[in-house]
Amino acid sequence: MKTLVIHAPKDLRIEDRAVESLGAGQVAVRLAVGGICGSDLHYYNHGGFGTVRLREPMILGHEVSGYIERIGAGVEGLREGQLVAVSPSRPCYTCRYCREGLHNQCLNMRFYGSAMPFPHIQGAFREVLVADALQCVPAEGLSAAEAAVGEPLAVVLHATRQAGEMLGKRVLITGCGPIGLLSILAARRAGAAEIVAVDLTDFTLDLAAKIGADRTINTRSNPDGLAPYFANKGTFDVLYECSGAAAALSAGINALRPRGTIVQLGLGGDMSLPMMAITAKELSLKGSFRFHPEFAFGIELIRKKLIDVKPLISHTVALDDAVQGFDLANDRSQAMKVQLAFGA
């Protein structure tokens, strides 16, 4: 089968690999769609992010959907031919954090396409993926493209839980890539009263307005656009920091009112923090890392049409043209969520 393997920055290859054997409690999924994620781009552009570095070739990808092709012994509730969204979260369920319900912090996590451990955890961009039945969420009624957005939606649903009570809150979102745009949808669904989105390109901000942001600010063309929100110790109750840029975090902190909450989603490496402002304003700083139970809930929200992810899907590229797709995904002046079509 064809797989998409990263060897080094800008060294992305389609390679033939054997299909894994099917075990009890597992299903073989013929992939239909795979979304290119920000972490995939970090591996493609830089060979990793922060201290995480490629040390061996790795199959990329973790935002996928497909059709069940074969079913292993003991699997119930799934059937051949069924469209499923496949969660990349594969905790061990036995370590101390899994036993505490913190599955996203699993000590033995096997998250698809991750160079954090070594040997690396191989990813899901392969024509046939053998997955645990527990990872597969039925997605009937959706397109395969919509189902493949379940993973980034789960990321922002987890972040929204980290943010706490959202009803009636004023929300600032810095960085309007796919995670930022999905944060708009999640915050609004959770009851946010006002949402302001900040980014550096009109293309992303136009999409932010289309899906529900009350106001957008282009800080490249209007560097002081957030300044009015700094008055009287700040305005916003919650900051979703989705860019991973220190300048965006600093500006967001200035715009938060006392006792506001920062939820850090952007992974751009370590950033310096204005600790005096955080301390004086009594701000809460919360990291948000991956997800687990939110995946199935996110698919259900899409199925019930409570969250519409279709506006985020800007391009679909054939697997054989994956390099073109990654280069396109790098260009935030014209692309949002770029997906690879596996031909199913």
Q: What is the pLDDT of residues 138-195, one digit of tens each?
A: 999 999 999 999 999 999 999 999 999 999 999 999 999 999 999 999 999 999 999 9
Residue intervals of the chain classified under CATH 3.90.180.10 are 2-149+309-341
Of 198, 200, 183, 196, nearest in space to 263 by CA = 183
- What's the rounded Cα separation, in Å, for the pair 111 and 297? 19
Q: Where are the beta strands (DSSP E) in the chain?
A: 2-8, 11-16, 26-35, 48-49, 52-53, 58-59, 63-71, 83-86, 128-132, 136-138, 170-174, 194-199, 215-218, 236-241, 256-264, 284-287, 313-318, 337-341
pTM for the full predicted model: 0.95
Residue intervals of the chain classified under CATH 3.40.50.720 are 155-287
Q: Where are the beta strands (DSSP E) in 265-329?
A: 284-287, 313-318
Of 246, 244, 242, 245, nearest in space to 272 by CA = 246
pLDDT per residue of the chain (344 residues) written in tens, 0 to 9: 999 999 999 999 999 999 999 999 999 999 999 999 999 999 999 999 888 999 999 999 999 999 999 999 999 999 999 999 999 999 999 999 999 999 999 999 999 999 999 999 999 999 999 999 999 999 999 999 999 999 999 999 999 999 999 999 999 999 999 999 999 999 999 999 999 999 999 999 999 999 999 999 999 999 999 999 999 999 999 999 999 999 999 999 999 999 999 999 988 767 888 999 999 999 999 999 999 999 999 999 999 999 999 999 999 999 999 999 999 999 999 999 999 999 75
Of 155, 178, 97, nearest in space to 293 by CA = 155
Candidate CATH numbers 3.40.50.720, 3.30.360.10, 3.30.2350.10, 3.50.50.60; the one for domain 155-287: 3.40.50.720
Q: What are phi and psi of 276, to 5 degrees?
A: -60, -45
Partner residues linked to 308 by β-bridges: none
Candidate CATH numbers 3.40.50.1100, 3.90.180.10, 3.40.50.300, 1.20.1270.10; the one for domain 2-149+309-341: 3.90.180.10
